[in-house]
Each structure stands twice: as structure tokens, then as C-alpha cells.
Amino acid sequence: MGILTSAVDVRSDAFRANRAHYDGLLATLRDRLAACTASGRAELVARHHARGKILVRDRIDLLVDPGTAFLELSPLAAWGQYDNGLPAAGIVTGIGLVAGTPCVVIANDATVKGGSFYAETVKKHIRAQEIAEQNRLPCLYLVDCGGANLPQQDKVFPDRDHFGNTFHRQCRMSAAGLPQVSVVFGGCTAGGAYIPALSDQVVMVEGNARIHLGGPSIVKVAINEEVDGETLGGAAMHTRVSGVSDHLAADEPQALARLREIVAELNLGRDLAAGAAPVEAPLYDPAELGGVVSHDRRIPYDVREIVARLVDGSRFQEFKPEWGATLVCGWARIHGRPVGILGNNGALFSESSLKAAHFIELCDQRAIPLLFLHNITGFMVGAEAERGGIAKDSAKMVYAMSIARVPKISVLVGGSYGAGNYGMCGRGFRPHFLFAWPSAELATMSADIAANVMLELRRGNVKAAPPTDDELAAIDRAVRDQYGEQSDPYYATSRLWDDGLIEPAQTRDVLGLCLALVSTVPDAGPRTPVYRM
């Protein structure tokens, strides 16, 4: 396999300028992550502790194997919404090792609106379940949840992908052999009660944990019965009388230790290290990535510079290096796992689209997962491109990618616009994982192009009077503002359009974990034939 040679001079002015710009992006990311992972308001955190409860991320620390990483998903969900009063959307999800078994953890943060569900909470919960299902992982629920957030009920309750869907998934995953286990830490009402009630096995913490379909106030209103929470749904009652709970724990550490014991006996036998080649560090430091990515979108850079800092030994077997130059395709290993990489080096032309389709088919035939590195303005437009059949050639790329059975992972390193996002396996194409760098932008097109299109449409409007300069300037400003706000990576991650913003230097390790997960899932069956493009 060839070894990539970097042409980047880390002492150059260009590198320093890129690095300084990226350091600013990273500082913002770290500040926002710190705010989002600090749980709810200070007085609610203090009350939580005063009740003898442990904060949600500390619970996860106690749960996962010491010294192993926990990959937290979408920590910036709901960022910038609800006056920033819903940190992490009130729920922590992620993947970690528990008693040696990779598990998805879904944990309510009771210090954020009582762990009740907003639209982003539901979406994040469902996305974690989807990841569990796709990667055949058990789900561990750390439940501390007031159910649907009542004022938000129309956004979380009635529709197909709302709260009910989480329970549908829970039942179906359990039936498909993916264990669903809950520990209950606090008051769980209605939907919050169904999470443990539909679990295969339940642990409750004495004193604080409650499970009831209706809490004391609902009971009073509905049937005029006066009952306290402990009598109605306490841990002792449910473990000794109703049988809703299977294990009573004296405190939270004991409950988490019990959960670890349960996971140790799940008999799943999943070894994430199985089948991996020895791991080699890249020849070029991943910490240099911030200096590689151009701080100005108009100044191009070679995506091979990114690949050289992500893959084992910077080894890369490039496919068709002399054809379809605007898409770089090739095979490499990350943390010892084979991967087929597609990275943009400019707009996608017919040739690069056909090359992509051919490469995807080869990876599918060889059962090699695909990694898409997005930095794409779109497929080529214009008379020459259309005469050359860009509509059908781009469709071939989209089609080949859509039907490939191999796992797909996308990382947005730069722009991801329009149909280019589709061809490169954007969210709509259900990649197994999709992460973004803080330099990402996601929209139908750039603000500049969108503003010009809208101006053209206004000028061409035959029903209205010719536009004034002021009107055109107002349209231009409004479209630029809208696209500027909505293509921002924080806007995207807040709405769960990705699985989280990650730092370039962390990307190799995140991909290593994802590839280990997808590579140890049983084979997906028949493959796409290789049609030469």
C-alpha cells in the first residue's frame, strides 16, 4: 500500500493562519460543550445532591469500565434553543464498555426539567436506540424522568417518531435479542415509567426511585385518592409487592454495580478487538489537522492531507488516482480496521461520480465499510455538465451508495451542500454514524449562491412590479442572514442532524471505535455486483 506524503509545511504562514482560525473554532466548541455538560441550574444540581443522587455523567462514569472511553453522542443537542435552558436536551446518550460489553447508554438528566422529554430529547433518545439496533448493542437506561414535557406535548407525543416510538423500538430490540435493562434513580411518571416497565430487567434505588403511571397529583385529580409517592410507586413496593422491579439497591453506586453484574451475564460475547490488524499511528500528527483545513473556503486544500493524518501508517491505496480528480477514493486502515474512503477535492463531475459509484461497489463486494469526508459544494452544474449527463452520473453515485450494504460513516469536515450531501451519504441516507467538525456547514447551497438565486427569482417575477434597489438589498440581506444562521454547525447539531461535533484531532479515535463496532456486526448478506462505470 502506498504511503501518503504531506506537502504541508507546518512552519508556513498559511499553516499558522489556518491553525489560528481553527483554534478559535475549537475554543468556542469547548466552551459550549462545557456549558452543555454541566447539567441543569445550580440550585437544581444542589437539590439533586442533597437527595443523595449522583449527576448523570458521574453515574455513567461509575457504570463504564474504568479507564475506557465513553463516546457521548450529540452533547450539543438543543444548543441555542429554549434560551439555552435545555442543556444536552436533558438526556445523555453514548456508547461505552460495561463489563467488557459495548453498550448504548441512555440516561435522563433530572436536573434539566425533571428529565422530561422535549422534541430534541425524543430525537436523541431514538437516535441512540437506532445506533443500538444497527450495531446490535444492548441498551442500558438510567432512568430519572418526568415523561413527556407537558407544554411540549404536541411536539413529543402524537406523531410516528415521537415518544411512543421509543417504546416500540424498545420492545422490538428486546425481541430481536438486544437486551434492554433499566436502573431507576428518581421519580418516573407516565412515559418515564414505561421505560423501566418495558425493560427486560429493572433495578430500583431505595428512597428516591419511583415508578407510577400517574403520580400522586394525577391520582388525586383522576380518582380522588390521596397517596404519597413512596406508597404509590416506591422501590421497596415495586420490588417486594408489585414485581415491577427485579432488584432493590440501597443506593446509586450499588444499583450501578448491579447493572454491571447484569451486563456481565448477558452472554453476548462481543469482542471489539477481534479481527483487527495491529494498529499503527499515522506518520503525520492528527493534531495538525486544524492547520491543514483552509480557513478560507475559497482556498482549496488536498483532502489527502486529512487522510494522511487519520489512517494507520498514513498508508493509502488510492483507486483511479489519475481519473475523476475531484473525488479521492482509496483503501486504508484506521485502528487496524479496513475502510474505503471517499473525500472531496472539488465539485463532483461526471467522472468523479462514476468513480465513486465504481469504488462503492468494490467496497461493498469486499465487505469494507465506507467513510465519506464531506467538503463539497455539489455536483457540477452548467450546459457542458448537463450534456455530459451529470444528472444520471450523479444519480449512479447516489444509487450505488444507497444500496451498498456495508456500514457507512460520514464526517463533515467542510461544506456539505445540496445533492453533494446526498451523494456523500448525508443524514437522509442513514449512515451508521455522522459526525461534523466545527468547520462544517450544511445547507442546500452557500449563502452567496442562495442570495443570488433569490434575487434572480425576484427580478424574473412577471406578476410583480420591477424590484427597487432597496427591495433587492433587503432580499439579499435576509437570505444571507437566514443561510448564515442555518448552515452553522451548531444549528445543525442542536437539531440532531448529526451525532455530534468532534474535534479534528479526536476524529481518528472516534472512527476507530465506530469501525470496531460496525466491523463486528454480522455480515449484511448479498452484495451489489460490480458494474464497471
Which residues here bind ligand COA, judged by CB under 6 A? 110, 113-114, 116, 146-150, 187, 189-191, 215, 218
Nearer to ligand COA, 191 or 423 (CB): 191
Report yes or no: 441 and 415 within 8 Å, Cβ to Cβ: yes
Nearer to ligand COA, 26 or 218 (CB): 218
Nearer to ligand COA, 98 or 110 (CB): 110
Task: Supply the minimum distance, in Å, between the C-beta of residue 286 and ligand COA.
Answer: 41
Within 8 A by CB and 6+ apart from 211, the residues are 184, 188, 193, 196, 197, 204, 233, 238, 244, 245
Dmax over CA atoms of the chain, in Å, equals 78
Within 8 A by CB and 6+ apart from 406, the residues are 340, 363, 364, 367, 368, 369, 370, 524
Task: Supply the minimum distance, in Å, between the C-beta of residue 219 and ligand COA.
Answer: 10
Report CA Rg, the chain: 25
Report yes or no: 184 and 245 within 8 Å, Cβ to Cβ: yes
Q: Compute the half-sphere exposure of residue 180: CA atoms within 13 Å on the CB side of its CA.
A: 23
Report yes or no: 147 and 116 within 8 Å, Cβ to Cβ: yes
Task: Supply the minimum distance, in Å, between the C-beta of residue 466 and ligand COA.
Answer: 52
CA atoms of 363 and 103, how far apart (whole Å): 27
Task: Supply the minimum distance, in Å, between the C-beta of residue 189 and ligand COA.
Answer: 4
Nearer to ligand COA, 115 or 489 (CB): 115
Report yes or no: 244 and 294 within 8 Å, Cβ to Cβ: no
Task: Supply the minimum distance, in Å, between the C-beta of residue 214 and ligand COA.
Answer: 7
User: Exposed, middle or buried, 526 (CB in 10 Å: 0-12/13-18/19+)?
Assistant: exposed
Nearer to ligand COA, 49 or 405 (CB): 49
Nearer to ligand COA, 140 or 219 (CB): 219
Task: Supply the minimum distance, in Å, between the C-beta of residue 181 and ligand COA.
Answer: 21
CA atoms of 368 and 87, how far apart (whole Å): 37
Exposure class string for 224-247: b at 16+ Cβ within 10 A, else e: eeeeebbebbbbebbbeeeebbbb
Task: Supply the minimum distance, in Å, between the C-beta of residue 187 and ligand COA.
Answer: 3
Nearer to ligand COA, 90 or 179 (CB): 90
Nearer to ligand COA, 146 or 378 (CB): 146
Task: Supply the minimum distance, in Å, between the C-beta of residue 22 and ligand COA.
Answer: 37
CA atoms of 524 and 335, how far apart (whole Å): 22
What are the DSSP E strand ranges found in 279-363? 317-319, 327-334, 337-344
Task: Supply the minimum distance, in Å, between the C-beta of residue 62 and ligand COA.
Answer: 20
Nearer to ligand COA, 20 or 150 (CB): 150
Nearer to ligand COA, 252 or 361 (CB): 252
Sign of CA dihedral 221, 223, 226, 227: negative
Task: Supply the minimum distance, in Å, between the C-beta of residue 396 and ligand COA.
Answer: 48
Sign of CA dihedral 92, 183, 234, 49: negative
